[in-house]
A and B are shown apart, each in its own frame.
Chain A
Amino acid sequence: MTPGRAAGAVLRYTALAAVLGFFALPLLWLAFAPFDRAPSVAASLPRFTLDNFRELLDNENAVRSLRNSLLLAAGTGGIVVAFAASAAYALSRVRLPGRDALLYALLLLSSIVTGTAAMVPLFNLAYELDLIDSRLGVVLVLSGGLLPSAIFILKDFTDTTPRSYEESARVFGASPLQIVAHIVVPLIRPGLATIAVWSVAQVWGNFLIPFLLLRSPEKSPAAVVMYTFYTEGGQPDLALISTFSLLYSLPVVAMFLFVSSRYGFRFHGGIKH
Chain B
Amino acid sequence: MSELSDVTTLTIDGSQPLSIKAIKDVTVLCDEVEDRGGAVVLRVTGAPAPGWTAGLDVALVTKWERVLRRLERLPAVTVAVATGDSGGTALDAFLTADIRIATRSSRLLLPFEGEATWPGMAVFRLARLAGAARARRAVLFGQPIQAPEALMLGIADELTETPDTAAATAVQRLEGLSGKEIALRRQLLFDAATISFEDALGPHLAACDRALRRTAEEAA
A joins B in a complex: no
> B-side interface residues toward A, CB under 8 Å?
none
> A-side interface residues toward B, CB under 8 Å?
none
